[in-house]
Amino acid sequence: MRRNEAEVYRSAPGKHGRWGLLLLAALLHACTSSGPTPPPKDSAPQAPGGDKLTPLLTRPQDGGQVEALLQQGERALGAGDLATASAAEAQITARLAQQTEASDLSPDLALRWARLRSALAFTDGDTLRSAALLLQTQTLAPPDQRQLLVDEAFDRLSASLPPPALPPQGMNALAPYHDLAEALAACASLPARLPQAIAAWEARWPGTALPSLLKNLPPVVEGGAPLRIAVLLPFTGPLQGAAEALRDGLLAAQFEAQRQGHGGSALRFFDTRAAGLSTAYGQALSFQPDQLLGPLERDAVSALDALRRDEPKAPPLLALNRPSLGSAPTLWSYALEPEVEGEQLADQNWRAGHRRLLILHDEAPWAQRLARAASTHFEALGGIVARRQPFSPNEDLGATVAAALLVEEGEARSQALQRVLRVPLETEPRRRQDVDSVLLIAEPLQGQTLKSALAYYFAGDLPVWASSQGLASDLSATALKDLENVTFSLTPWQLGGPDPESERLRDAFPDADGPLGLLYALGVDAWRLAQWQRYAPPGLPFPGLTGQLAQAADQRWVRTLRLATIERGALSPAPVRFALPAP
């Protein structure tokens, strides 16, 4: 097996003389490296003044050392220096474990200590521990701050809905709010149940403070009349297949709501291509809808937004794409943008400690958009994209990987050295050393081949991440072996689940696991999201099939994907690391 080492040159026996030895030494010095010299391995970016904070962590202190360490951790946290904040946390933990100072902490210090640990747990993706640490300190806080602790804890808990399973013990303070988060997530398929779910929770947990977010629900619609939804999609033309997948998803969500005893919605579909957007919009208004859904093309979204400005009483619109750049939309929008996934993959790489990224991507337009976004965001964070290597599905992917890893350059240098010295040499090629993570943006079969090629060309030790397009719905045993230890960004729809509702949806439309499966899931989410905006308070994230959706400031719904790693032949959830919570 080839060793992943520096190139080794051994000359054949012979008489070369002093000058030959000097020449050989010079050539060895110039040619034994492969690729750029990696920059020093760094940790999280040091905050301004961080070099002054770190020495204080080990400086001998008097009896107030815990408070001094806590101050250092708080300052580092405020500056975004997670490395120093984590070091402070570790030293405080060790000191409190060795001494009796834990019982001597004032309520104020104990509360600050809990906030520091909670924030760091959140950045590691441990939402349960982050929320529990805040809730356990409620009795230490002044009465006028206890509601704030509840609100902060619930925000962190609901960063991932439904929440992870609650451990059997050790988080008693979290139990009521974990129950609430599960109840809200269960309302995703039928948002009309949100008010009843919250009332039932208050009955189960009397005297428990309700998060402020849930105290101001939208007014209940009198009579509970179902929404009249007009759907504008291109049912003819090149996007017909996509429109039909969306339609099937909308109908599946409607049928599921009816199965649960809800009247559903009055759906009416209008073709934006056959009669033109303006005509279709006029027909939709004659339906007197409560809600508009669509259109699908970006230009059509902007055009419809312009038409709505002339309608003072136009119904609310949830567009299924983003309006063109430069417009000031009067609508809500949600889209499956490759750029969002690319930025999240770059962000998770950075939070995992990677600083030098190699991107291998298909040359298809969607993959180029995803790769460009990942590259731009990673560099904006302070990372280095060592190379962004496109490939064609028809080319030799092994050669693509070898070129990206600069393996061929090492072999070329070896051959050049042999020609100069005119002696046979034994060489062992190596890959470039300025990469500490790889991102694959490819279809499933391509991803398998690329992962195998990485192992063959001495990069089997590098962490490998992959976009959601790289996971097939029916992975073979060989594919699972090839993709072992790859971390994917995935939608909840791809991850599936044991819940009967998900199984019913898949059984109703078997094609939903095909190439247009994500558009089918988008149709389900669009129906539910229109209802969610009617019954849920602003700011409450929506647990969709295409991701967890949160409201952005510019009236966009932005999704967060989940992470999962293939381990021992199965998908295993991986924690999503979050940004530091706002102070």
d(Cα 323, Cα 319) in Å, to the nearest integer? 8
Q: Report the half-sphere exposure of 424 (CA within 13 A, side-chain side).
A: 3
Examine the pLDDT at 32 and tell me if it is beyond 50: no
Examine the pLDDT at 330 and tell me if it is beyond 80: no
Averaged over 152-180, what is the pLDDT?
92
| pLDDT tens digits, one per residue of 171-211 | 889 999 999 999 999 999 999 899 999 999 999 999 999 99
Please choose, from the candidates 87, 80, 82, the residue with its C-alpha nearest in 3D space to the C-alpha of residue 59. Answer: 87
Where would I find the H helices in 124-223?
Answer: 127-135, 146-157, 175-186, 194-204
Averaged over 35-41, what is the pLDDT?
50
Given a contact cutoff of 8 angstroms between Cβ atoms, the answer to whether 154 and 131 are in contact is: yes
Averaged over 259-263, what is the pLDDT?
80
Give the model's pLDDT for residue 423: 53
Q: Which helix (H) or strand (E) holds 351?
A: helix 338-351
324: confidence class by pLDDT, cuts 50, 70, 90: confident
Give the model's pLDDT for residue 6: 34
Give the model's pLDDT for residue 412: 52
- Higher-pLDDT residue of 389 and 495 is 389
| pLDDT tens digits, one per residue of 272-283 | 999 899 999 999
Give the model's pLDDT for residue 179: 97
SS3 label, residue 207: coil
Partners of 543 in beta bridges: 548
Cβ neighbours of residue 126 under 8 Å, at least 6 residues apart? 575
- The 8 Å CB, 24+ separation contacts for 166-175 are 166/128, 167/128, 171/128, 171/129, 171/132, 173/132, 173/135, 173/136, 173/138, 174/128, 174/131, 174/132, 174/135
Given a contact cutoff of 8 angstroms between Cβ atoms, the answer to whether 488 and 479 are in contact is: no
Quote the tokens at residue 199. Answer: 């009332």
Cβ neighbours of residue 136 under 8 Å, at least 6 residues apart? 114, 173
**Percent helix, strand and coil across the chain, each rounded to 5?**
50, 15, 35
Burial of 349: CB neighbours in 10 Å, binned 0-12, 13-18, 19+: buried
**Cis status, amide bond into 295, omega within 30 of 0:** yes
| Residue whose pair of structure tokens reads 């995703």 in the numeric block | 188
Q: Among 203-217, 274-288, 336-350, 487-501, which is the least confidently predicted range?
A: 487-501
Examine the pLDDT at 472 and tell me if it is beyond 70: yes
Given a contact cutoff of 8 angstroms between Cβ atoms, the answer to whether 577 and 562 are in contact is: no
Angle between helices 240-259 and 500-508 (to 10 degrees): 130
- The 8 Å CB, 24+ separation contacts for 89-97 are 89/116, 89/117, 89/120, 91/57, 91/58, 92/66, 95/65, 95/66, 95/69, 96/66
pTM of the model: 0.83
Partners of 334 in beta bridges: 557
Give the model's pLDDT for residue 276: 93
Averaged over 148-174, what is the pLDDT?
91
d(Cα 541, Cα 409) in Å, to the nearest integer? 50
Angle made by CA atoms 319, 323, 328, in degrees to the nearest 5: 110
Phi, psi of 204 (to 5 degrees): -75, -30
Give the model's pLDDT for residue 218: 84
328: confidence class by pLDDT, cuts 50, 70, 90: low
SS3 label, residue 486: strand
End-to-end CA distance of the chain: 52
| Residue whose pair of structure tokens reads 């008097």 in the numeric block | 62
530: confidence class by pLDDT, cuts 50, 70, 90: very high
d(Cα 76, Cα 70) in Å, to the nearest integer? 10
| pLDDT tens digits, one per residue of 451-461 | 999 998 888 89
SS3 label, residue 132: helix
Examine the pLDDT at 125 and tell me if it is beyond 80: yes
Scored b (16 or more CB within 10 A) or e, 127-159 reads: bbbbbbbbbbbbebbeeeebbebbbbbbbbbbb
353: confidence class by pLDDT, cuts 50, 70, 90: very high
Examine the pLDDT at 411 and tell me if it is beyond 60: no
Partners of 357 in beta bridges: 385, 437
What is the average pLDDT value for the chain, to the nearest integer? 83
Examine the pLDDT at 382 and tell me if it is beyond 90: yes
Please choose, from the candidates 399, 576, 386, the residue with its C-alpha nearest in 3D space to the C-alpha of residue 492. Answer: 576
